[in-house]
Amino acid sequence: MSSFPTQARVVVVGAGIVGNSVAYHLARLGWRDIVQIDKGPLPNPGGSTGHASNFLFLVDHNKEMAALTVESARQYRDWDVYTECGGIEVARSETRMAELRRRMDSSKNWGIESRLVTPAEIKELVPYIDESILVGGFYTPGVGVCDSLRFGTICREKAQEMGALAVFANTEVGGFGVEDGRIRSVETSRGSIAAEYVVIACGVWSPKVAELAGARIPLTPAVHQMIDVGPVPRFERSSRAIEFPIVRDMDVLMYERQDGIGLEIGSYAHRSILHDPEEIPSLEEAALSPTEFPFTQDDFDPQMEHALELMPEIVGDESVGVKYAINGLIALTPDGMPLLGETPEVKGLWSAAAVWVKEGPAVGQSIAEWMVHGEPTIDVGQSDISRFHAHQKTRRHTKARAFEAFPKTYGIVHPAEQYLSDRPLRMSPMHGWHAAHEGEFFEVAGWERPQWFRSNAALVERYGVAGRPNEWDARWWSPIINAEHLAMREGAGIFDLSAFAIFDVVGPGALAAVQGVALRQMDVPLGRVVYTPVLNQEGGFKSDLTIMRLAGDVFRVVTGGAHGMSDLKWFRDHLPADAAIVDQTSAFTTIGVWGPRARDIVQGVTRDDLSHEGFRFGTCRTIEIGSQLVLASRISYVGDLGWELYVPMEQGLRLWETLWEAGRPHGLTACGMGVYGTTGRIEKSYRAYGAELDGDYDIVEADMAPPRLKAQDFVGKAAVERQLAGEPVARLCTLTVDDHTSASGEKRYMLGRQPIVLADGSPIVDAKGRRSYATSAGASPSTGLHALLAYLPPEQAVEGNHLFVEYFAERYPVTVAVVGSRPLFDPENLRVRA
């Protein structure tokens, strides 16, 4: 063994699937002086990789997760450590069968070969199953099992062969040297290493390790129960370790898979059993590995009965014994997504945690690309560790959400499903008012926001809004949303936008700071409001947000609550030395008033000139409303005349009440976020980050390119120049549904993320291999249509073109209504400029 180094470019802490992959990909991308340490022995240091069931089901409703899994399978396959055996998710109930049909939508979206299978077909694939209790299944032939330990060993060996990596097992981290908010060194049980970068890939131990540097990695170790039974007579003839498809028994939250002559049975059906990282025993204390906790039989008893029902031939065989049973530890996070990227607390300290074996190789690659090139190929924005607001980093919140989410591991989760635990956390000054007006609260980033107001129920009848007959389509939805929308379009609506993340960029370098990040020209007169995309180096979307120039050296950035913290870090990462950022999120509340009567309402409470000429669209300035000074900004995300009004948080309620009183004679309606986030923007074809706008598409495709590119440099400019020079291979279009009637005669309403296909069901694929799918979907109450946004290749992006959308594996006709960013409703934008 070589002597222990005193310095390194990067120290990778952890030699599980993630740490190994990070080390390899960093070496592959040219980095040298990589040191990898683990407190355990090699090749199995005792973390979750060592007891993982190692299978990869490729289809996930989440685009990012599906992309990471598919890429990981490719890497495992490349190194010959992947056994493709296929996988079937089986349904015992009609409800589950519907979910499997929905999975067909996702498999088509992401281009993963899958098909629905009948009970008889399942029996043919898995002869030891009792198909009589099944309704059907969802079969993915590319599902397989990897050898994650072997993969890790190859990673280290290859990196060592390149002369890039030194590996030290049985080496524990005792602390970090951090100076001026940047990582400087790692203190280990074998000595200190000075390092520019540190990657924490410590699985369930990550929070403990990160704390040593003053950073937070919010995950909680949780138990996943697993048993192995054998020897199975039928498997004794198997020529390989796994020959039959893996079965996920979705209704009972279990899986069964062949493992040599044994059958492995895993479960997510038991109660949520959460631990603290401090509770994990040391290697010396642990009976098995530190992350294999003693099995708790009682928790597994019901699962044994379920396994017996599904596979009586094997599980019911008296000669087949339970040979191994553990409570294995896995990592759960507050929102179910991994924790990747540089920590917002410490520069140079990276997190690669809460990653499963099925994503490991792709995560390693993404982290390495991110560190070396500044951006990963796969958009991992939803996994960015900087996404969390303060409360989300606490132990209590993490555990509450993990406790709630664990039973949903194989659950049927509605795209709008709300967490119920650890609420309410962040309440706007109008929260009491909303509650009194029967707001239906949805949560984002901890903020409680009315999605609609039940007190507006009477509007449904007044506007003749139809309901949705299908329970799924109507879940987490109300026709009141559409009614509030129409009331806004007729009179005016008032919105509570307190969840906005707000931060000021200040100082002599403020202009340079925002100029270098924003696509749009930021050297604008004082009082201008600029809506601008924010791009990464490759020209993919990082965010879209508005920036107000409040003074020569003060710019106020306003962005969505969900992505606000990631945006904040992005600005900080690109901040010149002579500029500073002040987080104002909790200082200001924002109230929006929009609609044809908005001017009448606000003008009624101010002596300032709000006329079209006196207060131009795209400008902001301070006005007096009663005894308050209010920063008013004339823009709109719902496509109507009106203002965002900013006041200190504690004055919000007073302003709201003032406006409410003034607005009632004008038909002012309190509107929920359903209007703001869905109907209002959809019928205006406004794009949303995370839906239409992500790392996979560019501003030309999204039809958001400025008429003229600014002269100043900004992140992604070179890429944008290339994009502008070429012809887009996809264009964002607005489609409308021609007929909602399903085969059963029920009207169905798509919720977004459905494949757009040709008449024969074949996918539409652009020249970059991306498949067309509905990035968003929602009602356009003003036109009475249901609208979808989707990128289409040029030959399909033709207005009037007839295509189809698949929803729960059924096809519905749609028409391309708009190509590009022209709104479906009020295409000339007369309303906002009224």
Query: Is 174 a residue that touches another protein (CB under 8 A)?
Result: no
Category of 481 on φ-ψ map: left (φ > 0), alpha (ψ -120 to 50) or beta: alpha
Query: Is 315 a residue that touches another protein (CB under 8 A)?
Result: yes
Q: Cβ of residue 304: shortest distance to another protein, in angstroms?
A: 5
Q: Cβ of residue 160: shortest distance to another protein, in angstroms?
A: 15
- Candidates 286, 580, 691, 729; binder of another protein (CB under 8 A) is 286
DSSP string for residues in 41-66? -SS--SSGGGG---EE----SSHHHH
Query: Is 2 a residue that touches another protein (CB under 8 A)?
Result: no
Query: Is 278 a residue that touches another protein (CB under 8 A)?
Result: no
Nearer to another protein, 93 or 297 (CB): 297
Query: Is 288 a residue that touches another protein (CB under 8 A)?
Result: yes
| Backbone φ, ψ for residue 472 (5° rounding) | -60, -45
Tell me the site size for another protein, rule CB under 8 A. Answer: 33
DSSP string for residues in 332-355? E-TTSS-EEEE-SSSBTEEEEES-
Query: Is 316 a residue that touches another protein (CB under 8 A)?
Result: yes
Nearer to another protein, 325 or 649 (CB): 325
Q: Cβ of residue 305: shortest distance to another protein, in angstroms?
A: 6
Q: Cβ of residue 281: shortest distance to another protein, in angstroms?
A: 4
- Candidates 80, 305, 417, 578; binder of another protein (CB under 8 A) is 305
Peptide bond preceding 231: is omega within 30 degrees of 0, i.e. cis? yes
Query: Is 242 a residue that touches another protein (CB under 8 A)?
Result: no
Token output for 349? 């300290």
Q: In three state form, how does the secondary structure of 248-262 look?
A: EEHHHCEEEEEECCE
Nearest-angstrom CA–CA distance, 247 and 263: 11
Helices (H), 113-240: 119-125, 148-161, 206-211
Distances (CA, A) of 755 to 136, 288, 738: 22, 46, 16
Query: Is 233 a residue that touches another protein (CB under 8 A)?
Result: no
Nearest-angstrom CA–CA distance, 504 and 375: 25
Nearer to another protein, 6 or 282 (CB): 282
Query: Is 526 a residue that touches another protein (CB under 8 A)?
Result: no
Query: Is 3 a residue that touches another protein (CB under 8 A)?
Result: no
Query: Is 283 a residue that touches another protein (CB under 8 A)?
Result: yes
Q: Cβ of residue 172: shortest distance to another protein, in angstroms?
A: 11
Q: Cβ of residue 1: shortest distance to another protein, in angstroms?
A: 8
Nearer to another protein, 319 or 627 (CB): 319
Least Cα distance to 614 among 599, 626, 595, 627 occurs for 599
Q: Cβ of residue 167: shortest distance to another protein, in angstroms?
A: 13
581, 573 Cβ separation under 8 angstroms: no
> Which range, of 205-213, 302-310, 387-395, 592-600, touches another protein by CB under 8 A?
302-310
Token output for 336? 């179910």
Nearest-angstrom CA–CA distance, 772 and 109: 7
- Candidates 30, 191, 233, 294; binder of another protein (CB under 8 A) is 294
Nearer to another protein, 29 or 261 (CB): 261
- Candidates 93, 95, 297, 586; binder of another protein (CB under 8 A) is 297
Task: List b or e across 384-401, with b for residues whose CB sees 16 or more CB atoms inside 10 angstroms.
Answer: bbbbbbebbbeeebbbbb
- Candidates 67, 193, 215, 320; binder of another protein (CB under 8 A) is 320
Q: Cβ of residue 300: shortest distance to another protein, in angstroms?
A: 9
Nearer to another protein, 265 or 673 (CB): 265
Secondary element (H or E) of residue 623? strand 620-625
Query: Is 505 a residue that touches another protein (CB under 8 A)?
Result: no
Give, as one character, the DSSP assignment of residue 411.
S
Least Cα distance to 808 among 743, 763, 758, 759 occurs for 743
Coil, helix or strand for 382?
helix
> Which range, of 154-162, 288-296, 343-351, 760-768, touches another protein by CB under 8 A?
288-296
Nearer to another protein, 180 or 284 (CB): 284
Query: Is 467 a residue that touches another protein (CB under 8 A)?
Result: no
> Which range, of 55-63, 203-211, 276-284, 773-781, touches another protein by CB under 8 A?
276-284
Query: Is 211 a residue that touches another protein (CB under 8 A)?
Result: no
> Which range, of 310-318, 380-388, 467-475, 648-656, touches another protein by CB under 8 A?
310-318
- Candidates 7, 282, 421, 611; binder of another protein (CB under 8 A) is 282
Query: Is 287 a residue that touches another protein (CB under 8 A)?
Result: yes
Query: Is 321 a residue that touches another protein (CB under 8 A)?
Result: yes
Nearest-angstrom CA–CA distance, 204 and 220: 7
Query: Is 721 a residue that touches another protein (CB under 8 A)?
Result: no
Query: Is 727 a residue that touches another protein (CB under 8 A)?
Result: no
Query: Is 240 a residue that touches another protein (CB under 8 A)?
Result: no
Q: Cβ of residue 240: shortest distance to another protein, in angstroms?
A: 17
Token output for 787? 């609208």
488, 480 Cβ separation under 8 angstroms: no
Query: Is 170 a residue that touches another protein (CB under 8 A)?
Result: yes
How many Cβ atoms sit within 10 Å of the Cβ of residue 110? 23
Coil, helix or strand for 529?
strand
Beta bridge partners of 593: 494, 643
Query: Is 285 a residue that touches another protein (CB under 8 A)?
Result: yes
Q: Cβ of residue 325: shortest distance to another protein, in angstroms?
A: 9
Nearest-angstrom CA–CA distance, 442 and 447: 8
How many Cβ atoms sit within 10 Å of the Cβ of residue 723? 18
CA 527 to chain centre: 34
DSSP string for residues in 56-97? E----SSHHHHHHHHHHHHHHHHTT-EEE--EEEEESSHHHH
Query: Is 307 a residue that touches another protein (CB under 8 A)?
Result: yes
Secondary element (H or E) of residue 591? strand 588-594
Site for another protein in 323-362 (CB under 8 A): 323
Least Cα distance to 561 among 734, 392, 780 occurs for 392
Site residues for another protein per CB under 8 A: 1, 41-42, 169-170, 229, 279, 281-288, 293-295, 297, 301, 304-305, 307-308, 315-323
